[in-house]
Amino acid sequence: MIDSSLKEIAAALRAKKVSAVELATESLARIDAGNGRINAFVTVDREGALAAARAADARLAAGTAAPLTGIPMAHKDVFCTEGVLTTCGSKMLANFVSPYDAHVVSLLKQAGAVMVGKTNMDEFAMGSSNENSHFGPTRNPWNTDKVPGGSSGGSAAAVAARMVPIATGTDTGGSIRQPAALCGITGIKPTYGVVSRYGMIAYASSLDQGGAFGYSAEDCALLLSGMAGHDPRDSTSLERETEDYSRNLNRPLAGLRIGLPTEFFAAGMSDDVRAAVDAAIAEYRRLGATTVEVSLPNARLAIPAYYVIAPAEASSNLSRFDGVRYGHRAAEYTDLNDMYCKSRAQGFGGEVQRRILVGTYVLSHGYYDAYYIKAQKLRRLIAQDFAAAFEQCDVIAGPVSPTVAFGIGEKSDDPVQMYLSDIYTIAVNLAGLPGLAHPAGFGAGGLPVGLQLIGNYFGEARLLNVAHQFQQATDWHTRRPAN
């Protein structure tokens, strides 16, 4: 039953063909069977899941169920969950049990969704491969020698392996879209501010945004509808009416203008990815869309701008992890300063330490204007490029990643090559725009290829409509790993 769409699962629950307890039990059994191989989950909350499932069955019996009531799901381990470990994939928080729920977690609890556990991730969301976790790398269900993408690789792998039908993730520079593409599922990052960051442990506050993973655009629309909304506890949460993101799914694509950025189709994309992306765009033309060439001239500067801004914000955000109030504390130290130094050196992994050092450097006296302010100016230029492009088109399409999933350890010794994995996704975060990745075919080694759709501000419903129409005409999103 977990292999079915959310709409089919919800219908079966209401028709009493299956119970929420039976679904939760099936999900837990799949995790037991596959997690040793995939390592998608850091924590499995068996008792909590079954208790939530029993409560969901009671709501279903009473006729008070919401669309997500009784649906098994997982949260990326960056979202605080009351009474359950929240580790951020780090030794620093390996024993941290949150005393409260993130806003997203609260909303989905209220909707009756059944959390079965917390998924693995790159430490503090810093990574593009899910190899930076204190709990070991997550493996791609399509080929366990390959990465699932990051930083939300655990959530993407859990959905791709059919352990859960939906999961939450976060996207700071592509961390929902890239793993969705590499794992052959659908993922959406909404406009910055649409999903509350309260209780979402921060990496880069002006870039982080929660989002959704599912088998299809329709599933993502239902999950996003349940987790979006204004939260007064988050100063960056936007005061907007809540939306039903599934409302336009069946809208035809006739008249849709798809922008194809020149810069996205230049050198750098592998031939197999290019072939799948070109075929997907051809399918959109068959569905009634037209394509127009657009330009994002400053997109090439997105990676250098991002790797100044994000580490700077991380340096500030992670300063709270000092071994005093919570988190890892060194067992032996001589004085307070020694405790700080040893606790942080022991608690943070190599990539996190690298980004803290870079961020501290660019914020230091004499370098703030030269690096940080200049990167913020580039960020504005990138946003202006998108604004100009959207005067010519309704959505922008292109690749998600320049290659299919690469081997575990293949790029570990070359951080710059790892950073280039996000070359097509980072600009979207710098501009605060919504972005979606959906399956578009397969490349080398039978590994999935994703297509990225980028919308104008608050264009999530349109992106989901476009992807849904594609998925009505193709079956890439229905393919699943052999094991």
**So which residues are the catalytic ones?**
76, 151, 175
* The 41-44 sheet, strands edge to edge: 41-44, 114-119, 72-76, 166-170, 210-214, 186-189, 435-442, 448-455, 395-399, 257-261, 290-294
Evaluate whether 89 touches 122 at the Cβ level (below 8 Å).
Answer: yes
| Residues in CB range of 410: below 8 A, 6 or more apart | none
User: DSSP assignment, residue 423?
Assistant: T
Give per-residue burial for 279-298: e unless 16+ CB within 10 Å, then b: ebbebbeebebebeebebeb
Closest-CA residue to 171 (of 427, 481, 441): 427
Q: How far is CA 98 from the centre of its chain?
A: 21
Amino acid at the residue 240? R
Closest-CA residue to 147 (of 480, 447, 481): 447
CA distance 396 to 455: 7
* Residues paired with residue 85 on neighbouring β-strands, in sequence order: 97
> Torsion over CA of 31, 36, 41 and 44, rounded to 10 degrees?
60
User: DSSP assignment, residue 76?
Assistant: E
First to last CA, the chain: 17
In the structure encoding, which two tokens stand for residue 145, read together? 């020698």
Residue 13 has phi, psi (to 5 degrees) of -65, -45
Length, in residues, of the chain = 483
Evaluate whether 138 touches 40 at the Cβ level (below 8 Å).
Answer: yes
Evaluate whether 463 touches 188 at the Cβ level (below 8 Å).
Answer: yes
CA distance 455 to 436: 8
Evaluate whether 146 touches 167 at the Cβ level (below 8 Å).
Answer: no
